[in-house]
Structure 1
Amino acid sequence: MIKIILTTLFGVLLLVITGIIFYWRDIKHDPSRQDFLIFFGLIPLSITFLILMPMLIKKFYERHQEKKKQKNAEAEQASETQIAAEKQESDQIDWVQLQVFSVTSLSGIAENEAHIELLQNPISPQLDQQLFNHFNLPTTSFRIAEIDNAVNNDAELAIFSPRRKRIVALIQQQLEQNIDVLSQIAAHLKNSALFYDVKLAHEYRMHPAWMNPNSEHQDEEIEQKVVESVPRLNRLNIHIILAENLLHFWDEDSPSAMVNEFLTGLGIIPQHLDTQYHYWGKSAYKDWIQLLKQIQYLDSEVSFFIVVDSEIDSETIADVAWGFEKYIPSEYASTCCITSTNVELQNLVAIKNIRIALNADQAVKTLKGLSLEKAPQFTQDEPFVLILDDPTEAKLAKKLKLNFAESMIEEQHYLYSVSCLGQTQTLSKIFGFMLGLHFKDELYGYVYSAEHQQTQVIVGTEFA
C-alpha cells in the first residue's frame, strides 16, 4: 500500500515539475518561493490524493468488511461453543436419589397397593346421595366412606366447613396409618438427643412418653438404653401439601395443633418438629420434584409428606364445576416418609429407593443410566409404568411413544393414575407419584408425566 502511494506521488511529482519548468521557461517566469510551494508541493499532493482516493476508499471498505466478518465469525464461534457446552450440560442427567421408609395411599376406590390392581380395570364413580351438584341433584363421586363417621361424630371438627372436616379427618387417618414408623422415628430422635445433645436430652427425660411412673431412677434407665453411638437425627419435617384454592381459607393453627399433639404423644419434643404447609396449583408436580431435590441434601433429617385433597362438598362443587358438562369430585390422601440416601434410621429399613432423572428427555437414557434397559419385567405384560396424565388428552399417545422409543416399554405396561380421581386434579400427579411406590417389590416402577417430559422417575427396592 505504501509502495503504491510513493510510486504514484513520485510519478505525479515528476510530471508536474517537468511541465511547470518548461512552462515557466517559455513564458520567462521568475517563480517566487510561494510558487515553488504551491506547484511543487500542494498541487502534486492534491493530484496524487485524487488519483488514489477510489483505491483508498475501496481498501477502507474492504478492511471494514473484513473486520466485520471476523467479528461475526468470533461471535458465531463463541455462540457455537456456548451451545455445545449447554448441550453437553443438558445431555448430562441430573440424578436425585432418595430412600422411602413408608408409604400409604387412600382414595375412593382402594387403599395402598390395592390401587395398582384396580387401576388395570375400568373404574366408575358411585352415585352419592349426600352430595349435590350445582343443579341441586345427587351426583356421582369418589367418596372415601370410611372417614364419614369421623367427620360426622368428631366434636372438634364440628366448627369446620364440610371440605375442611374431610381434609383434617384424612390427615388424621393417614397419621394413624403410619404410627409404627413415626414411633420408631420418635425413638431415634430421643436416642440421638441423648447421645449428642445434653440440653435436648433433658427435655426427653422429662417427656411423659418416655417416663416410667413405676421407676425411681428414670434418668439412669433412659441413659443406660443408649450406650452405643446412634446415627444422628436432628429433625422430623412434616410437609402438608394442599390445593392452591385453599390458600385463603385454610386455618393452619388447628390442623397443626392436631399433628403436633399426635407426634408429641409418640414422644417427639417440639424442638425436633417442623411443620410446613404447601399450597400448590398448576405447577404442583414441578414444585414436588424441586422439593424432593432439596430433600436429598438433608443428611440428618427425615421428611414425612402428606398430600391430601377433597371436593366432597356441595359448596365446593358449586364453585368449581361451572363449565363442566359433568363434574365428578373425589378425595384422596397419601403419605410417604422419605430421606436422603445418607440417612440411616434406627430399626427401620428402606422399603423403596427412588431415582429421579432430570434433563432426561427419553426413557432409554434413564434406563441405561441405571443399567435397566434389559430388565426381565419388560418382556412380561404386567403393568409397571404409572402415567400421571389424562388418557383422553390429545396427542398423549404420541408423546408417550416418543418418550419410550428405543426402550422395551410398551403400551400394555401403562397404568393411568387419574382414573380414580375424577375432576379433582390439582394434586393428582403427586398422588400418582406416591402410588408408584406401591408396585411389587420384584418390579421396578416407572412414573412419568408427558407434561414434564424431561423428568423420569424409577422406583425399586435396590439399584446397582
Structure 2
Amino acid sequence: MIKIILSTLVGVLLLVIAIVVFYWRDIKYDPSGQDFLIYFGLIPVAVTLFILTPMFIKKIYEYRQEKKDQQVAEAEQRSEEQAQGEKQVEEKIEWTELKVFAVSSLSALAENEAHFDLLQEAVSPELDPQLLNAFGLPILSFRIKDIEDSQEDEDLDLSNRQKRITTLIRQQLEQNSETLYQIASHLKSSAMFYDTKLAQEYRMHPAWIDPNSEYDEAVEQTAESVSRLNCLGIHIILPENLLHAWDEDYGSDTISQYLTELGIIAQQFNVEYHYWGETTAYKDWIKLLKRIQIFDSEVALLIAVDSEIDQETIDDRTWMTEKYIPSEYVSSCCVSGSQVDVQNLSAIKYMRIILNADRAVKVLKDLKLSGVEQYEQEQPFVLVLDDPTEIKSLKKLKHNFDGTAIEAHHYLYSKNSLGHTQPLAQVFGFMLSLHIKDDLFGYVYTADHQQTQVVIGTEFA
C-alpha cells in the first residue's frame, strides 16, 4: 500500500516537474518560492490523491467487509464452542469391560512379564549380520533370536516377511494352547446341547472325541449345565503396509489346521484380518474391543504381529535413510465380554476402557483406586504409549494425572524398544499392561487419545 502511494507520488511529481520546468523555460518565467510550493508540492499531492481515490475507496470497503465477516465468524465460533461445551457436558462417560483369559507377548527384549524389568533399562539394538544397508554393511535390529523361519514354508511362494510373521503367529497359538483347548471343549458342549446340526458334525468326526476323556464320554449328559458359546473369533492384526502383500488364504489355512487339531470344527471359528497404520491403530484397537464386548456367546483371540526382519523390507525402508532400526514383536490375548463365561476358565484380568474421560482422577475415584498402596511403591504400572522425548505428549501426560497420586516414576514407556517398526507399537504396549502383577492394577494412556483411559486389574469395586 505505502509502496503504491510513494511510487505514484514520485511518478506524478516527476511528470509535473518536467511539464512545468519546460513551460517556464519556454515563457522565460521567473518562479517565486510560493510557485515552487504550489507546483512541486500541492499539485503532485492532489493529483496523486485523485488517481488513488478509487483504490482508497476499495480498501475501505474491503476493510469494513473483513471486519464484518470477522465479527460473524467470531459469533459463529462462540456459538459452536458453546454448543460443543454443552454437548461435552451432556456426553456421558462410556465404560467398556472385558474379561481376559490369557495373554502372551514376545519381542527382542523379553517375553511376557519380563518386559517390565527390561523396559526400565536402556536396552540397545544389536548388530544383525543377516540384514545389510545400501553399502553392504550390517545394521542394528531388534531380532527375536529364539524364533527361526519355519522349514515348512521354504517351498512356498511367500515373502520372507510373511514366513517370519507366520512363525510368530504359530508361536502365539502354541502359547495359548491350554486356553484354546478349554474353549474348544466348551464349544463342543454348547454345540451338543444347543445346535443339532453342529452336534451331528462332531459325531461324524470321532477324532474330535477323546475316548480317554471322562468329559467326552458324558458330554451330552452334562451339556445342559454349560452356557451357550457359539464361536471363537480369531483376529489377526497386521501393519497397513501388508494390506496387498499378505496371503490371507495361507494364513487362514495355518490357523485353521491348528484349531482343527484342537477339536474345533470350522463352523465354530472364523479368522478375520485387520490392517492398521500407525496413526489409526490405537483408535481401531479400541473399536475392536468395544465390538467384542457386545457379543454374549463369543470369545476372541487377538494376535497383533509385525516383523521387518527381512532384507527386502529393509531395502525399501533404508533407500532414503541409513538410520533405520527394524524390529519384530507379537502379542496376543484371549478376551470376551464381561457377560461371557467359559467352562473351566477363569478371567486372569479385567479390562476397563473408559471413553469421554479427559482426566484420570475421576476414573480412579469411581473405581475406588484413589488411595491404594501401590502409589507408595517405585514399581511402574502406567504403560505410556507415546515417545518420552515429545514435550507436548509429556505435558498432556502430566495434565491427565494431575490430582492423583501417580507420579513420573510410575510411567513405563514401550515405544522406543521397538525401533522404527511402529505401526502396531501402541497395540503391543497396550497388551504389555495385561502382564502387570496380580497385586497391582495397570493403567494405559496415550496423549493421542486424551479422553480414553484404560485400567487393568484382577478385580474392581
Bin the TM-score by the shorter chain.
0.7 to 0.9
Structure 1 residues 288 and 157, CA gap change in structure 2 (3 angstroms): farther
Tell whether 2:254 aligns with 1:258.
yes
For residue 440 of structure 1, what is the aligned residue in structure 2? 437
For residue 135 of structure 2, what is the aligned residue in structure 1? 135
For residue 232 of structure 1, what is the aligned residue in structure 2? 228
Tell whether 2:325 aligns with 1:328.
yes
How far apart in 1 are the matches of 2:145 and 2:169?
15
Structure 1 residues 117 and 220, CA gap change in structure 2 (3 angstroms): closer
Deviation at 1:109, TM superposition (A): 1.1
For residue 119 of structure 1, what is the aligned residue in structure 2? 119
SS of 1:337's equivalent in the other structure is strand
Matches of residues 353-392 of structure 1 in structure 2 within 5 Å? 353-392=350-389
Tell whether 2:90 aligns with 1:93.
no
Structure 1 residues 423 and 365, CA gap change in structure 2 (3 angstroms): same
Structure 1 residues 229 and 393, CA gap change in structure 2 (3 angstroms): same
How far apart in 2 are the matches of 1:409 and 1:323?
41
Q: Tell me, yes or no, if the aligned pair for 1:208 and 1:267 is still in contact at 8 Å.
A: no
* Residue number among 283, 286, 289 corresponding to 2:283 in the alignment: 286
Deviation at 1:359, TM superposition (A): 0.7
Structure 1 residues 192 and 139, CA gap change in structure 2 (3 angstroms): same
Structure 1 residues 325 and 260, CA gap change in structure 2 (3 angstroms): same
Structure 1 residues 101 and 397, CA gap change in structure 2 (3 angstroms): same
Q: How many residues align?
A: 385
Q: Tell me, yes or no, if the aligned pair for 1:243 and 1:426 is still in contact at 8 Å.
A: yes
AA of the residue aligned to 2:186? H
How far apart in 1 are the matches of 2:365 and 2:319?
46
Q: Tell me, yes or no, if the aligned pair for 1:385 and 1:414 is still in contact at 8 Å.
A: yes
Q: Tell me, yes or no, if the aligned pair for 1:194 and 1:226 is still in contact at 8 Å.
A: no
How far apart in 2 are the matches of 1:349 and 1:327?
43
Deviation at 1:81, TM superposition (A): 8.3
SS of 1:347's equivalent in the other structure is coil
How far apart in 1 are the matches of 2:160 and 2:408?
40
How far apart in 2 are the matches of 1:396 and 1:80?
24
How far apart in 2 are the matches of 1:288 and 1:356?
11
Q: Tell me, yes or no, if the aligned pair for 1:119 and 1:416 is still in contact at 8 Å.
A: yes
Tell whether 2:428 aligns with 1:427.
no
Deviation per residue, 1:298-324 (Å, 9 max, x gap)? 011001101000000111112123444
SS of 1:146's equivalent in the other structure is coil
Deviation per residue, 1:252-286 (Å, 9 max, x gap)? 00110010010011110111111100001120110
Matches of residues 289-368 of structure 1 in structure 2 within 5 Å? 289-368=286-365
Structure 1 residues 327 and 77, CA gap change in structure 2 (3 angstroms): closer
Tell whether 2:240 aligns with 1:244.
yes
Deviation per residue, 1:306-363 (Å, 9 max, x gap)? 1000000111112123444511100000100010000000000000000111111111
Deviation at 1:145, TM superposition (A): 1.3
AA of the residue aligned to 1:235? C
For residue 8 of structure 2, what is the aligned residue in structure 1? none
Q: Tell me, yes or no, if the aligned pair for 2:143 and 2:328 is still in contact at 8 Å.
A: yes
SS of 2:169's equivalent in the other structure is helix
Q: Tell me, yes or no, if the aligned pair for 2:189 and 2:220 is still in contact at 8 Å.
A: no
Structure 1 residues 83 and 166, CA gap change in structure 2 (3 angstroms): closer
AA of the residue aligned to 1:124? S
CA RMSD of aligned residues (A): 2.4
SS of 2:182's equivalent in the other structure is helix
Q: Tell me, yes or no, if the aligned pair for 1:132 and 1:314 is still in contact at 8 Å.
A: yes
Q: Tell me, yes or no, if the aligned pair for 2:153 and 2:163 is still in contact at 8 Å.
A: no
Answer with 1 or 2: which has the greater Rg. Answer: 1
Deviation per residue, 1:241-262 (Å, 9 max, x gap)? 0000000111100110010010
Deviation at 1:225, TM superposition (A): 5.0
AA of the residue aligned to 1:278? H
Deviation at 1:110, TM superposition (A): 0.5
Identity over the aligned pairs, expressed in percent?
58
* Residue number among 160, 166, 169 corresponding to 1:168 in the alignment: 166
AA of the residue aligned to 2:142? F
How far apart in 2 are the matches of 1:174 and 1:77?
53
For residue 24 of structure 1, what is the aligned residue in structure 2? none
Tell whether 2:408 aligns with 1:407.
no
SS of 1:366's equivalent in the other structure is helix
* Residue number among 179, 183, 187 corresponding to 1:185 in the alignment: 183
How far apart in 1 are the matches of 2:252 and 2:216?
34
AA of the residue aligned to 1:357? I
Structure 1 residues 219 and 333, CA gap change in structure 2 (3 angstroms): closer
Deviation at 1:375, TM superposition (A): 1.7
How far apart in 2 are the matches of 1:179 and 1:277?
21
How far apart in 2 are the matches of 1:198 and 1:114?
46
Deviation at 1:87, TM superposition (A): 2.5
Deviation per residue, 1:123-176 (Å, 9 max, x gap)? 11111111112332101111011111xx15334565322111100000011101
Deviation per residue, 1:86-128 (Å, 9 max, x gap)? 13233x3111111100000000111111111111111111111
Deviation per residue, 1:207-262 (Å, 9 max, x gap)? 343335799xx999354552542011010000000000000111100110010010
Which stretch has the larger CA shift, 422-431 or 126-135? 126-135
Structure 1 residues 134 and 379, CA gap change in structure 2 (3 angstroms): same
AA of the residue aligned to 1:276? E
For residue 102 of structure 1, what is the aligned residue in structure 2? 102
In structure 1, the gaps of 5 or more residues are 1-74
Q: Tell me, yes or no, if the aligned pair for 1:205 and 1:222 is still in contact at 8 Å.
A: no
For residue 452 of structure 1, what is the aligned residue in structure 2? 449
Q: Tell me, yes or no, if the aligned pair for 1:383 and 1:414 is still in contact at 8 Å.
A: yes
For residue 43 of structure 2, what is the aligned residue in structure 1? none
Deviation at 1:206, TM superposition (A): 2.1
